[in-house]
Amino acid sequence: MMDADLSKAFVMAAIRRLVDDELAEWDRTKDGELELRLVTGEIFVVGETAIRSKKRSRRIAPMLSIHHRWWGAA
């Protein structure tokens, strides 16, 4: 595996962990792009060789919860 492949695998594993820990959501857009939305409202587009920032989401309230397991409540 080349350094770039290792780096990409590391980043994708970190993103997957954010999603698994319910700190982010990801989905494919109608254009086929992978969009990552963090609970803080930031939105990123994950491309083949780069991650770029998109506009901040206003839809963060449903993802932010006092019962969120990351804050200690399972």
Q: Where are the alpha helices (DSSP H) in 1-74?
A: 3-20
pTM over 0.85: no
pLDDT category at 57 given cuts 50, 70, 90 is: low
Residue 59 CB neighbour total at 10 angstroms: 9
The side-by-side arrangement of strands in the sheet containing 43-46 is 24-28, 34-38, 43-46, 51-54
- In tens, the pLDDT along 8-25 reads 899 999 999 999 999 999
- Of all residues in the chain, the percent with pLDDT exceeding 90 is 47
Q: CA–CA separation, 55 vs 2, rounded Å? A: 32
- Cβ–Cβ contacts within 10 Å for residue 39, how many? 20
Under 8 Å between Cβ of 19 and 26? yes
